[in-house]
Amino acid sequence: MRKRGFSRRDVLKGSTALAATVFASPLRAAPPPAEAITPALIEAAKKEGKLAFYTAMDLAFAQQLAKAFEAKFPGIAVRVERSGAERIFTRIGQEYGANIHSVDVVNTADQAHCIVWKRNDWLAPYLPEDVARHFDKAYYDPDALHVTTRILVSPIAYNTNLVKAEEAPRSFADLLDPKWAGKLVKGHPAYSGTIMNATFQIARDLGWDYLEKLARQRVMQVQSATDTPKKIALGERAVMVDGAGYLVIRSKEEGQPVEIVYPEEGTPLATSPSAVFKAAPNPNAARLFQNWMHGREGQQMIIDAARQYSAHDQAEEKPGVRPLAQIKLMKEDPEGVEKGAEEVKRRYAQIFKV
Residue 238: CB minimum distance to another protein, A: 8
Q: Residues with Cβ < 8 Å from 97, sequence gap 6 or more?
A: none
Q: In what order do the strands lie in the sheet with 258-261?
A: 220-221, 184-186, 239-240, 156-159, 258-261
Residue 182: CB minimum distance to another protein, A: 8
Name the residue nearer to another protein (CB basis): 64 or 300: 64
Name the residue nearer to another protein (CB basis): 64 or 171: 64
**Distance (Å, rounded) from C-alpha 211 to C-alpha 187?**
13
Name the residue nearer to another protein (CB basis): 201 or 256: 256
* Strand stretches in the chain, DSSP E: 50-55, 77-82, 105-107, 123-124, 147-153, 156-159, 184-186, 220-221, 239-240, 258-261, 269-277
Residue 40: CB minimum distance to another protein, A: 26
Pairing of strands 239-240, 184-186: parallel
Residue 93: CB minimum distance to another protein, A: 6
Name the residue nearer to another protein (CB basis): 43 or 70: 70
Residue 341: CB minimum distance to another protein, A: 8
Name the residue nearer to another protein (CB basis): 88 or 132: 88
Q: Which residues bind another protein (CB under 8 A)?
A: 52, 54, 58-60, 63-64, 66-67, 77-84, 86-87, 89-91, 93-95, 97-100, 102-103, 162, 182-183, 188, 190-191, 218-224, 226-227, 230-231, 233-237, 341-342, 345, 349-350, 352-354
Name the residue nearer to another protein (CB basis): 46 or 296: 46
Q: Degrees (nearest 5) of the Cα angle 269, 274, 278? A: 145
**Which secondary structure element, helix H or strand E, spans residue 249, and what is its range?**
helix 245-253
Q: What is the DSSP letter of 130?
A: H
**Distance (Å, rounded) from C-alpha 122 to C-alpha 125?**
10
Residue 60: CB minimum distance to another protein, A: 8
